[in-house]
Amino acid sequence: MAEPDTPPVKHSNRKTLLVAFAVCLVCSLIVASAAVLLKPIQMANQSIERKRILVEIADLMKPGLTVAQAYQQVDIFMVELSSGLVTDAFDPEKFDITKAVKDVNLSIPLQRNEDPAQIRRKPKYLPVYRVNDSAGKLKTLILPVYGYGLWSTLYGFIALQEDMRTIQGLRFHQHAETPGLGGEVDNPRWLALWKGKIAFDDHWEPRIELIKGTVGTSTPDSHHKVDGLSGATLTTHGVTQLLNFWLGKEGFGPYLIRLREERERS
Ligand SMILES: Cc1cc2nc3c(=O)[nH]c(=O)nc-3n(C[C@H](O)[C@H](O)[C@H](O)COP(=O)(O)O)c2cc1C
């Protein structure tokens, strides 16, 4: 018996390309829409995380308090870095460092030799967080700090006690260093080493050193030194550089001078 004739299958390159294009278009639309729709949620989560770190570093989280309640004790304002003057030209709660450094009116370029934190452009203004005691005197001053580690820019806060010299704490809220290596900047055991260290020398020059190995009581100038992270010398170096930069004259130096002068007058 003769086989029935089956019609030959037609392969059309045009059709294949059209289907592939349609699939790509639909997928990219889904991804783009998800990114746009999730952006406000991501921003809100980042803001909550920043606030949680701020209240923790200032030791404001007491039992029964929410982050929002504890955060009410934090005064936040904008400072012009070059003059150290407080300004109300911007809303500090809405200030975004990453946007500011892309704006030529809100940031200035740094030459290589003036950029140890490797940030390339320095914002002209930054927020400052202050917690006062019941008499209205400074209890904790929290400054935003950031700079390059090995793979990423580390964004964080350093908190200084009322003498503006002793470190209350250090925390990072954003970075992409390797977990287990540079990522150990988030390790609570390492972070605990910072409390009580002295951030400035006798002439108010920033002096923070991260050393290879362990700082012991017999280490000379141990109050300026913190253990480096083992296997993460490059991230450790970045942390040292960024802290000394932001506490120095190119960073919050002028503002800190003003605060010290204010305290001496009062
Ligand atoms: C996959 C990989 C990831 C690494 N991540 C980091 C890091 O996040 N931070 C860092 O300082 N070094 C990191 N390193 C190690 C550095 O390349 C370098 O060896 C190290 O900083 C030297 O530190 P040490 O002198 O304490 O050993 C990484 C290495 C590899 C292979």
The single residue listed with the structure tokens 């995380």 is 49
Rounded to whole angstroms, the Cα distance separating 134 from 139 reads: 9
- Tell me if 157 sits within 8 A of 141, measured CB to CB: no
Is the CB of 235 inside a 6 Å radius of any atom of ligand 1?
Answer: yes
pLDDT at 218: 81
Is the CB of 182 inside a 6 Å radius of any atom of ligand 1?
Answer: yes
pLDDT at 1: 53
pLDDT at 28: 95
171 phi/psi in degrees, rounded to 5: -145, 145
Q: What tens digit of pLDDT does each residue of 88-101 get?
A: 988 998 899 999 99
Ligand 1 atom closest to residue 235's alpha carbon, by position in its atom list: 11
Q: What tens digit of pLDDT does each residue of 129-138 get?
A: 999 998 889 9
State mean pLDDT over 172-194. 96
Instruction: Enumerate the domain spans of the chain.
Output: 45-265
Rounded to whole angstroms, the Cα distance separating 12 from 82 reads: 67
Distance 46 CA to ligand 1 centre (A): 27
Rounded to whole angstroms, the Cα distance separating 46 from 40 reads: 10
Instruction: Give me the chain's average pLDDT, please.
Output: 92
Q: What tens digit of pLDDT does each residue of 36-81 get?
A: 998 888 888 888 899 999 999 999 998 999 999 999 999 999 999 9
Its pTM stands at: 0.86
